[in-house]
Structure 1
Amino acid sequence: MKLVLLACLAAVAVAAPQGDERPVVEIIKDERSDSGDGNFNYAFEADNGISMSVSGTPGAEGQSNMQGVYSFILPDGTIAEIRFIANENGFQPESPLLPTPHPLPAHAIEQIRFAEEQRAAGITFE
């Protein structure tokens, strides 16, 4: 029994990860500026293709309004780029890679048009 337990412990010790095997990513660009009045800019780029550039200004409601772009390399080798605005209306990304809602079917559009006509004519349902 002791031999089996010793063999199991030895197998676990051999199978344990040895050292830190995470890939090392170097930052090849790191630029930052802060004017002290709420306006700022920063940009960075890593050697693995990840990059980001952002500029910000103070918002009317105390928030930071930002706009920028970030990009990274997809598994097929193409570059994904997402442009965004973040302000009092939230985070608003734009990219052809982002999913979009399916268009409404023709019968649904007709029902919406018909309901709008009824509302305009003063017809209501309770």
Structure 2
Amino acid sequence: MLPLVLLTDTMKIIFLACLAAVAVATPQFEDRVVALLRDDRVANEDGTFSYALEADNGINTAVEGVVGSAGQINQAGSYTYTLADGTQAVVTFVANENGFQPQSSILPTPHPLPAHVFELLEIAERQRAAGIVFN
């Protein structure tokens, strides 16, 4: 970047106008204290636990954890928060030896497969059943 001394007056004005535009465009966040309406927590010595939190800004969460088959902690629960349009987003989940598995209407879904892909999958299945192997 050039030192400000080497810039012409017009360039300085443009530079300062750009800085001002960036400062004005920066999102302004509201300084607001969020109050907890509910805070229930239980932690047992065997590793099981549960907690439920609710805040006055619409955020809610409830989770339970139990010891899994391999000694891991399996969790199940949900969380809710308010979207920009004012509706509530609810996500339920299970986290266990199969990984994190969320379910919600707000999660993206893959595009549907075209019809010809189903035909290709059927052909491949028939080839596997016939013992045809491609290397």
**Residues 59-98 of structure 1 aligned to structure 2 (within 5 Å):** 59-98=68-107
Structure 1 runs of 4+ off > 3 angstroms? Answer: none
Deviation at 1:97, TM superposition (A): 1.2
**Residues 29-40 of structure 1 aligned to structure 2 (within 5 Å):** 29-40=38-49
Q: Deviations over 1:62-97 (max 9, x none)?
A: 211110010000111110000000111111001111
- The whole-number CA distance in structure 2 between the counterparts of 1:123 and 1:37 is 52
SS in 2 for 1:22: coil
- Could you say what the CA RMSD is over the residues aligned between the two structures, in angstroms? 1.5
2:114 is the alignment partner of 1:108: no
Matched residues, number: 107
Structure 2, unpaired ranges of 5+: 1-22, 24-29
- The whole-number CA distance in structure 1 between the counterparts of 2:130 and 2:46 is 54
TM-score, normalising length from structure 1? 0.79
Structure 1, unpaired ranges of 5+: 1-14, 16-20
- The whole-number CA distance in structure 2 between the counterparts of 1:58 and 1:115 is 41
**What residue in structure 2 maps to residue 4 of structure 1?**
none
